[in-house]
Every structure is written in structure tokens, then in C-alpha cells.
């Protein structure tokens, strides 16, 4: 560090902490046991993503939820690096479902901050259009006949649209902003 630079410690300010946040989160399915986390760090140690990322740390996410650092959590794109392998869930000595907490935080980020990775918006839009999350080209359907495979089952797009509507997903996706990539 050069002498001209002033050292600024990474301080958490009291007003950043929302004491109710951990209680709100613990009511959501998958995050019920957040209060049981005693910060042993097994999740981070065994996480295959953390080994290759400087930013994704499940233990830190759990602590930040306990501290109520909602703004920091919901503006942290590293949340999108969890690959849902569930190693953390299987290895946690307190049976905290870390991957479930990450999913709850992703859902909350989209709902409250209106921002999500582009790829998931594209998958959702394909699903609404075709019933499948990838748009299967006509050539594929023709090839199936040549290969002696049965026709693909037809989607029921009315039902899919209705499910998006009644679960509040259409509204969530309406004005959502997107970003493309997340840093390692």
C-alpha cells in the first residue's frame, strides 16, 4: 500500500443492519434454519464453486443474513454463482440448507430489486412461448421422424401462462432488468 493512500477499514454500519431480516428470511421455505448456522465454514470449504471463485462464499452469505445486511446481499451478483450441487446442504453439521437460502435470496432479488441474469429471463420466455425452456427448431422435429422417435409431447401454453400469472411470476418478469455475466 502506498503511503499516500488512507487505510479505510471495511466497517459495517449499524444502520445497514436490518434486525428483522433474518426472521423474514427464516419464514421462507428452504431458509428456515438460518439461525442455527454457527459459522463453522464447512459449506465454503466443501463448495466446488468457492474453490475457483474469489467472490462466492456460502458461509459469508449465511452470516450476512444473520446480520441483516439485506442491501449488500441483494446487490451481490455472486449469489448467481451457486450451481445447486447441494454439497453444502449434505455437509452442514447444523442441517442448514445453504443452497435453499441462496435460492430464497435470488427470488427476493428479482422480486424486490427487479434485476436478474439475462439467461433466466430467456429461459422463462421460451417456456411461455413453447412449454420447453429451449426453443426446439422445426429441423429437430423433422429429424425425430427420420430417427424413428415419437413426436414430442405438446405443451399446454394456456396452463403455463396461467401458472406464471397465479404465482405472481408474470408480474415479477414484466419490468425486470437484466445483466449478462457474473465475475468469478
Partner 1 sequence: MPEPKYLLFLGCVIPYRLSSYEISARKILDKLGVELVEMPEFNCCGFPMDPINHDLMLTLAARNLCLAEKQNLNILTLCNGCFGILNETNKMLKEDKKLREKVNGYLKEIGMEFKGTIEVKHLVHVLVEDVGFEKIKNAVKKPLTNLRVTQHTGCHIVRPKKLIEKDDPENPTFLKTLIRLTGAECLDYMDEAECCGNPIIGVNETIPFQMAKEKFDHIIAVGAQALITVCPFCHMMYDLNQPRIEKAFNMKIGIPVLHYPQLLGLAMGFPPEELALNELRVKPTELLSQIQG
Locate 61 and state its grid cell: 452469505
List of residues contacting partner 1 (CB under 8 A): 28-30, 48-49, 52-53, 80-87, 89-90, 97, 99, 103-104, 106-107, 110-111, 116-120, 123-124, 127, 131-134, 136, 140, 143-144, 147, 149-150, 152-156, 158-160, 162-164, 166-169, 172-173, 180-184
Q: What DSSP character marks residue 52?
A: T
Please name the residues in contact with 26: beta carbons below 8 A apart, sequence gap of 6 or more. Answer: 32, 33, 34, 35
Question: Which residue's CB is nearer to partner 1, number 74 or number 172?
Answer: 172
Alpha carbon distance 135, 125 (integer Å): 10
- 2, burial (CB in 10 Å: exposed 0-12, middle 13-18, buried 19+): exposed
**In the complex, what is the shortest distance from the CB of residue 41 to partner 1, in angstroms, rounded to a whole number?**
19
**In the complex, what is the shortest distance from the CB of residue 54 to partner 1, in angstroms, rounded to a whole number?**
11
Question: Which residue's CB is nearer to partner 1, number 18 or number 30?
Answer: 30
Amino acid at each position: 500500500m502506498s503511503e499516500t493512500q488512507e487505510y479505510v477499514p471495511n466497517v459495517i454500519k449499524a444502520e445497514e443492519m436490518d434486525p428483522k431480516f433474518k426472521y423474514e428470511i427464516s419464514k421462507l421455505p428452504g431458509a428456515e434454519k438460518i439461525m442455527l448456522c454457527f459459522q463453522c465454514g464447512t459449506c465454503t470449504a466443501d463448495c466446488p464453486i468457492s474453490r475457483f471463485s474469489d467472490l462466492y462464499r456460502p458461509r459469508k452469505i449465511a452470516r450476512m443474513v444473520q446480520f441483516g445486511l439485506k442491501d449488500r446481499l441483494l446487490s451481490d451478483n455472486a449469489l448467481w454463482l451457486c450451481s445447486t450441487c447441494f454439497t453444502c446442504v449434505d455437509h452442514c453439521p447444523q442441517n442448514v440448507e445453504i443452497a435453499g437460502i441462496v435460492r430464497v435470496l435470488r427470488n427476493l432479488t428479482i422480486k424486490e430489486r427487479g434485476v436478474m441474469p439475462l439467461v433466466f429471463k430467456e429461459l422463462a420466455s421460451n417456456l411461455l412461448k413453447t412449454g420447453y425452456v429451449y426453443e426446439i427448431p422445426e429441423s429437430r422435429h423433422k429429424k425425430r421422424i427420420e430417427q424413428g422417435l415419437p413426436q414430442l409431447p405438446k405443451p399446454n401454453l394456456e396452463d403455463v401462462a396461467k401458472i406464471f400469472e397465479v404465482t405472481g411470476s408474470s408480474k415479477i418478469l414484466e419490468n425486470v432488468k437484466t445483466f449478462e455475466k457474473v465475475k468469478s
